[in-house]
Structure 1
Amino acid sequence: MKLCHSLITFSLSPPHRSLSRHPKSLSSELLSHRVNLAESLQSETLKILEWPSLCTQLAAFTSTSMGLAAARTARIPLGKCSDESRRLLAQTSAAVDIFQPLDFSGIEDVSAIVDTSVAGEMLSIRELCSVQRTLRAVRALLEQLEDISAKNDLSKRCSPLLKILQNCNFLTELERKIGFCIDCNFSVILDRASEELEIIRLERKGNMENLESMLKQVSARIFQAGGIDRPLVTKRRSRMCVAIRANHRSLLPGGVVLDTSSSGATYFMEPREAIELNNQEVRLMNSERIEEQAILSLLTAETAQSERQIKYLLDRVLEVDLAFARAAHARWMNGVCPNFIAEGYENFENNALSVDIDGIKHPLLLESSLRKLSDLNKSSSSLSSDQDGITNSRIVSGAFSFPVPVDIKIGHGVKVVVISGPNTGGKTASMKTLGLASLMSKAGMYLPAENNPRFPWFDLVLADIGDHQSLEQSLSTFSGHISRINKILDVASEKSLVLLDEIGSGTDPSEGVALSASILQYLKDRVKLAVVTTHYADLTCLKEKDARFENAAMEFSLESLQPTYRVLWGSMGESNALSVAESIGFDRKIIERAKSWVKKLTPEKMQKFNSMLYQSLVEERNRLETQEKRAASLHSDAMKIYHEICNEAEDLDGREAALKAKETQQIQQELEVVKTEIDAIVEEFGNRLRTTSRDQFNSLLRESESTITSIVEALRPSNDVEVEGSFHTPQLGEQVLIKGLGSKLATVVETPADDNTVLVQYGKIRVRANTSSIKAPADGKDTMSLVPLSRKKGRRTKNLKNLRSLSETRKDEEVPFGPAVQTSKNTVDLRGMRVEEATHHVNMAINARGSNSVLFIIHGMGTGVLKECVIQLLRDHPRVAKFEQESPMNYGCTIAYIKPFLRNPLVNHRKNSLPLAGSSGLKITHQEIAEIFRSWRSDSTFYNFRNGNFLALTHEIRNPVHPRDREPYPPDQVIKELEGKFAFIFFDSKASAFLLARDRDGSMQVHCGTAANGSLVCSDDPNLISAACGKC
């Protein structure tokens, strides 16, 4: 489908049988005549139905100059067949599902530039840059669609849009060549465009430097000789020269005067020695221009060769732009997607309607009730002229803010619909709404209707609406009317929709009725559907003789003498001419005289009876329609629930299998972790067994068995049940226990807030806690004593074995954590990072935190990808005891509670010193070394080096002191000397600094010693310990 050509589509019925008896040349001439006639009628019908105004309405939602031009000139594509229209609707639906607008910036309509290149004219730098930007932007457009499809899991829904640009030749080679030769930011040809150009420009640069240097020297000599007030080198007639007073021109013998000042007192002369250099400059400048033209000619030829591919890309971009414009238009008017009834649909549903549209509004009438197009911040022209035309054709005025919706219900098998009723009742507007809805659906546009509109796909929409009087063609109103109908009958096919307004009017009523009836009888056998309006009551009697006819009437309120604009399907309407004339303001005498004539022509009783009967039938019809809509709504809700239940039932087995598989995977992962821990205990038991005496064997065995038993017990399901009423509603001033804050009582200082949080006083700290984590203290009983939250002065941490016991705590026990108070040291900000970078920072932050501490992780909200990554990492990390949201009002921050490392006991810390571990070798890891430092001095900071070593320092004293000689000991020197070895030094509390280096595999056999000042020294080399400590 070439969008850049004529977009009016049509199909013709087979020629009459009589054409087969004519020569082939005559048949082709008649067929060509019918094709031209169909094009003319289709174009006129589009204007009659105000299709250009609707396209102008759509123009406000386009994003490219091509889309804007296509919409303003009514070149919106109409599907050539039902499949093509369905494809356009699928594109619109896909664009509706994508709420994120696409970026069309950089895309220009370069078709004129391409035509210029094909014509043999050389393109300018600006034009070639336009081609390059467009090619790059089109490729970026596809990348946007693919990115949106991947991120939002819309691959299936976006496929109609992806198919437009996929498999296209984006001419990346042409884009690369233009970018290689031209700098589009400065609109200059680069030196690298060709070797010849680079050589010329280098030679020209050197020549110009020599010329300027020489002229500056000449100008300086003239200045020194008094020939000019100040040295001046300039250019005249494209040649470099110097300024000199007219009476000192003798200072430049053999020089050439190029120009003079306006007063004639100053000459601009070219010195004799500069003539050859200037000539060389001119020659090089011409050579450069010729080479640049050759490069532009080459790029122009490349562009001309890619004409078809470039125009094809522009057509595809236009198709995407119009799809998103149709989607935006659908959201603007709250439209719904229409459905085409397939051929043979009646075989599946006997009571189906061939046209079933609920509550459709004319889109042009609806425009004045919606948000103004000028407020949409889209590129569109002023629509004032179109809006004036729309206002003149409005059905609803006065107190109504929205046009009255119209229901169009045409049963299957009906070929002709006759609409009767009063003037100004909405017959023509309803008929035009049906025609415009058919065109919109063919173009892939949504309809301003309700529920699911359904109707056939029409190949041609042919209309005869309005006065076709023409003095130039000597046509009266009736002649123009009949002439156009004759043309419509000539080109209409069995898939066409024909709309005729006031059929047979403008002549004698009896002859008009006869001609109209004959035309309708012809149409019922020739077209898919014909809708006509009339005031001839005799035409409504055709339904009694043929079921392919249907009647419809426009409702008229006898009480208010005003039309209601509702269509009564299956009814015959009255003209109500006298009521309309009276409402317009006719003289009462004229109205009374007309009523007297009606009484003479119609018996009084019959007139009264007809009026009462009509009124009762209208009331009954309205009641039945209300009941029908209610029943249809209930049936639709019931079917929706039924389908949901069926879908859930079909997917039940799959979900159950997936849940079992997930549980099995979790159990397997837990078993793998337990197996790893048990293997580590067994391996440790074997290592320690080799260095343990026979007397200690039993105790070592019991210790290992106890550790394995505690791991197994931790996995055993707990039978504990949450005690009812464990959640406590605190009162102001009450002392309560806070989950996670140990056994110390906290005081409630504020009543509970609306978000189920309460502010409590915990020592000198105020904490806001959830009411679900608050418990009342047991009456008469002491609460459980937990580990203190802070160390006393001079006290070290307990045995490192306690850290293992914390990880093996029973489920009903709580690991103690301090209050979650945020500082700069316990906060990591991930905003602006990618997933891989954020994962690395979180792992480093967790490893850097001490035991029983908290970590604030700021990930923000955004798309939720970063938050999901953090949650998954915290869920799987072995050092994270639990994690939670910071507060109910802050979803962008998560608090992680850090537990100790899982490892074996190494050293028993005593009150004020670190004793030896003896000369026995202990297997120690990098993480365990770090934990020793953190447990001994929690304020230490670690720095990693490229060679695998790392350095740990505190922040109390900046100049660390060596334990032996108390001299400054630079950390970089320690690291350099110990590279490839393993050694670390604990300094005493006076120095408050640590130095540490490790080997590359992260583990080794450790030997320990004590320095003279009581510091602990560990290394794999006993000689190093002896040198550092003096004893071992």
Structure 2
Amino acid sequence: MQERVFKVLEFTKVREQLLEHASSTLGKDKIKHLVPSIDFEEVVKLQDETDEAATVLRVKGHIPLAGIYDIRAHIKRSVIGGVLSPHELFQIASIIHASRQMKRFIEEFSEDRTEIPILAEEVAKIIPLTDLEHAIKQAIDESGEVLDGASETLRTLRHQLRANEARVREKLESMIRSSSAQKMLSDAIITIRNDRFVIPVKQEYRAHYGGIIHDQSSSGQTLFIEPQVIVQLNNQLQDIRVKEQLEIERILTELSARSAEHDSELTVIVNVMANLDFIFAKARYGKKIKAAKPTMNHEGRISLFKARHPLISIDEVVPNDILLGKDYTTIVITGPNTGGKTVTLKTLGLCSLMAQAGLQVPAQDGSELAVFDAIYADIGDEQSIEQSLSTFSSHMVNIVDILGRVDFNSLVLFDELGAGTDPQEGAALAISILDEVHRRGARVVATTHYPELKAYGYNREGVLNASVEFDVETLSPTYKLLLGVPGRSNAFEISKRLGLNDRVIEAARSHVSEDTNQIDQMIASLEESKRQAEIEYQEARDYLKQAEKLHHDLQKQMMEFYDKKDDMLEKAAEKAETILEDAKKEAESVIRDLRKMRIEKHAEVKEHELIDAKRRLQEAAPVIKRSKQTAVKKTKQHTLMPGDEVKVLSFNSNGTLLERISDSEWQVQMGIMKMKVKEKDLEYITTPKQAETKPLAIVRGRDANVKLELDLRGERYEDALLRVEKYIDDALLANYPRVSIIHGKGTGALRQGVQEYLKNHRSVKKIRFGEAGEGGSGVTVVEFK
């Protein structure tokens, strides 16, 4: 793409803003060279990586990108045998540490939360050079000083150096504290010249101390003398310093050589950290401008919803919907100047450039943009003084260049097409240029104030008229884009609002053709209709949101109701069982008392009468079933019909089908509620027969004809499960604490199916295989709660 287009559409300013969000010179260098890509797969990947970074920032709020340095020059110099400085070596250790931190951060995020494959793949390239990092940090501190612990030799030399310096200072301190020193010294201080300790002696007393003169004051009155008595001590110090420097050089040479051994790994670390800094800078910038990830296509479709110009303050910019490339490929925006037409052009062009560069765009979620091979723009007054070109000539030079390059996969933006020349000829040229670009299949948006182009969209297939709204009441533009409505002149309305005499305005109207007046009236009607339609559309959306919220709240309340109902029934059942258990215990107590009375008092109470009384007590106690029913098994495919009784799985509640709403949705009556339910959420139970009546409840006692075991051997799988289901219900009604189900050993399929059903049954407390005398693994013993 042309660099001139980047400047015209202000993509260069976006790059400048993006620089503020980079953490290192490496990331800034990549941003400075950022250009849109024309490869569809690459653009999709760029958008995905930015979205992954945005996800990380949204969840974590930060990213460990501190301590990144550009060490590429250091690596090259170490490879050719150069000795790196302490600062350069510390920068190598710092970026190794930063890469380890980043690798661990991304891997932990990827394991704990959302998958971020691109970032995970990027950090997987990093080879942690922990040994090299520790070796450098043990030898060099953050300020670039070589530490005493870098080697034992250096530690010893530093110790000797400090001890000798102490002796020299002690000797000099005794000299400057003497009584004669006050008149012979300019100042009672110890200082250093040429790395040797000296004292400031007045000129006339130079011979008193002897030794070596290293410097003098600007006036010449003070000499900095190394007294003869400490010359030898200073010589020893100097010797130790030379050895210290040689040891430091050896340490730096060794660390530089170790760094050179890992030049390829260090180069990978630099490239990965540069790329990660760049990716997260894009994500930070997107967060700042409240941007969203656009869906990309290569069919030339553009659907920007509530799009904003990223360089205009969010508080001031007016969002607009821009749709292009589906039902129409050309938009002609007409209307007065300063209405926002140029901003609309730049918003579209800049968003397209940003998307193809991997940046998120300032628009709502769900926006879509195309990957163009080229974006052309002829915007603004670009007349050239050097070439002595007029405004019109300058525009035509650009347009000629565009026409020589444009093809079907181009986006072309024309601002004030045909302006700067005779209105009639300019309008004719504008129509001809639009026809040519439209014929080549490019996506085109053009602005103009020529009234002749208002009819252009009505006479060409694939062309749409648009305008920017103008508020006559406030005499100011609203900057709102109106698609499908051409712009109209507001000169008469504005003049009237400003106080121009009505007679003058009417006279002016008489000079305008009847066709123009009718067109303006038609446009005004269209504007009003569109404005009203947008208001009604927004109201409808608000009502829809309210209805959806109400529907959601009702569903939530129903679920809470059914849960509460089940809990209450459960508690009631438990309470009833407790009462019955107490009653049984009381009955047992009565029986014991009766027997005792019979034995002790020889009462005429027969044993069989006692047994019969106990049996009657037990039969009088109903068995209360749990409120939550087991899931109804589907035994065969059934075509749902109105009137069928079904189970709504999501609510665990039964209902009746009222009518089919669509191929996949039914209206269901659940109690007093009527709800729309997906067919996949329904389970068929039965079709009620006419005039059929059912008993409301069945209470059975121990006399019911229910055996303590169920033999399923020889049964088909489906039939066996139906028998198990019915048998468990009968056993529960009979109040049996334990039953046995004989399924045999065989292939194990029937045994597995029976046990899976029993495990999920609410009333089953425990299941086990039979003991050796009960049938072994061919029998399942069931214990009830």
Cα distance between partner residues in 2 of 1:241 and 1:340 = 75
Q: Alignment partner for residue 312 of structure 2, among 362, 365, 374?
A: 365
Q: Does 1:154 pair with 2:68?
A: no
AA aligned to 1:446 is Q
The residue aligned with 1:439 is: 353
Q: Alignment partner for residue 432 of structure 2, among 495, 511, 518?
A: 518
Q: Does 1:269 pair with 2:227?
A: yes
Q: Does 1:135 pair with 2:96?
A: yes
CA gap of 1:100–1:581, structure 2 versus 1, over 3 A, is farther
Following superposition, the deviation at residue 499 of structure 1 comes to: 0.7
- Are the counterparts in 2 of residues 244 and 269 from structure 1 also a CA contact under 8 Å? no
Cα distance between partner residues in 1 of 2:356 and 2:450 = 33
SS state of the match for residue 357, structure 1? strand
The residue aligned with 1:88 is: 46
Following superposition, the deviation at residue 555 of structure 1 comes to: 3.2
TM alignment of 1:391-402, pairs within 5 A: 402=316
The residue aligned with 1:97 is: 55
User: Which structure 2 residue ranges, 5 or more long, are not aligned?
Assistant: 552-622, 628-785
Q: Alignment partner for residue 74 of structure 2, among 111, 114, 121?
A: 114
Following superposition, the deviation at residue 457 of structure 1 comes to: 1.9
- Are the counterparts in 1 of residues 308 and 347 from structure 2 also a CA contact under 8 Å? yes
SS state of the match for residue 384, structure 2? coil
The residue aligned with 1:164 is: 122
Following superposition, the deviation at residue 635 of structure 1 comes to: 9.2
Following superposition, the deviation at residue 480 of structure 1 comes to: 0.6
- Are the counterparts in 2 of residues 82 and 457 from structure 1 also a CA contact under 8 Å? yes
CA gap of 1:215–1:364, structure 2 versus 1, over 3 A, is closer
Cα distance between partner residues in 2 of 1:418 and 1:122 = 66
AA aligned to 1:97 is T
- Are the counterparts in 1 of residues 335 and 486 from structure 2 also a CA contact under 8 Å? yes
TM alignment of 1:508-907, pairs within 5 A: 508-526=422-440, 528-557=442-471, 562-579=476-493, 588=500, 596-603=507-514, 606=515, 609-625=518-534
The residue aligned with 1:356 is: 303
Cα distance between partner residues in 1 of 2:169 and 2:336 = 96
CA gap of 1:527–1:323, structure 2 versus 1, over 3 A, is farther
Following superposition, the deviation at residue 533 of structure 1 comes to: 0.7
The residue aligned with 1:292 is: 248
- Are the counterparts in 1 of residues 140 and 146 from structure 2 also a CA contact under 8 Å? yes
AA aligned to 2:110 is S
Cα distance between partner residues in 2 of 1:134 and 1:265 = 49
TM alignment of 1:868-1017, pairs within 5 A: none
Following superposition, the deviation at residue 484 of structure 1 comes to: 1.3
Q: Does 1:341 pair with 2:301?
A: no
The residue aligned with 2:9 is: 49
Cα distance between partner residues in 2 of 1:167 and 1:131 = 17
CA gap of 1:303–1:478, structure 2 versus 1, over 3 A, is farther
The residue aligned with 2:648 is: none
SS state of the match for residue 120, structure 2? helix
Cα distance between partner residues in 2 of 1:211 and 1:560 = 84
AA aligned to 1:359 is K
Following superposition, the deviation at residue 456 of structure 1 comes to: 1.5
The residue aligned with 1:426 is: 340
- Are the counterparts in 1 of residues 305 and 322 from structure 2 also a CA contact under 8 Å? yes
Cα distance between partner residues in 1 of 2:510 and 2:194 = 102
Following superposition, the deviation at residue 495 of structure 1 comes to: 2.4
Cα RMSD for the two superposed structures? 4.9
AA aligned to 1:575 is S
Cα distance between partner residues in 2 of 1:512 and 1:247 = 97
CA gap of 1:517–1:288, structure 2 versus 1, over 3 A, is same
- Are the counterparts in 1 of residues 333 and 447 from structure 2 also a CA contact under 8 Å? yes
Cα distance between partner residues in 2 of 1:467 and 1:260 = 69
Cα distance between partner residues in 2 of 1:410 and 1:249 = 93
CA gap of 1:342–1:485, structure 2 versus 1, over 3 A, is closer
SS state of the match for residue 89, structure 1? helix
AA aligned to 1:479 is S
Give TM-score, length-normalised by structure 1.
Answer: 0.45
CA gap of 1:181–1:546, structure 2 versus 1, over 3 A, is same
SS state of the match for residue 188, structure 1? coil
CA gap of 1:189–1:570, structure 2 versus 1, over 3 A, is same
AA aligned to 1:54 is V
Cα distance between partner residues in 1 of 2:332 and 2:8 = 20
Cα distance between partner residues in 2 of 1:554 and 1:224 = 90
Following superposition, the deviation at residue 416 of structure 1 comes to: 2.2
Give TM-score, length-normalised by structure 2.
Answer: 0.58
CA gap of 1:282–1:634, structure 2 versus 1, over 3 A, is same
- Pick 1 or 2: higher relative contact order, CA cutoff 8 A, min separation 6: 2
Q: Alignment partner for residue 495 of structure 1, among 385, 409, 426?
A: 409
Cα distance between partner residues in 1 of 2:383 and 2:427 = 21
AA aligned to 1:145 is I
Following superposition, the deviation at residue 297 of structure 1 comes to: 4.6
Cα distance between partner residues in 2 of 1:299 and 1:420 = 69
CA gap of 1:328–1:563, structure 2 versus 1, over 3 A, is same
User: Which structure 1 residue ranges, 5 or more long, are not aligned?
Assistant: 1-9, 11-37, 346-353, 370-401, 643-717, 723-1032
- Are the counterparts in 1 of residues 213 and 223 from structure 2 also a CA contact under 8 Å? no
Moved more, 416-425 or 592-601: 592-601
Structure 1 or 2: more helix by fraction: 2
AA aligned to 1:131 is I
Q: Alignment partner for residue 179 of structure 1, among 128, 133, 137?
A: 137
CA gap of 1:251–1:504, structure 2 versus 1, over 3 A, is closer
SS state of the match for residue 311, structure 2? helix
Q: Alignment partner for residue 320 of structure 1, among 276, 295, 310?
A: 276
CA gap of 1:554–1:190, structure 2 versus 1, over 3 A, is same
Cα distance between partner residues in 2 of 1:218 and 1:449 = 76
Following superposition, the deviation at residue 140 of structure 1 comes to: 0.8
AA aligned to 2:307 is I
Post-superposition CA distance 1:19-48 (Å, at most 9, x none): xxxxxxxxxxxxxxxxxxx3xxxx222222
Q: Does 1:462 pair with 2:371?
A: no
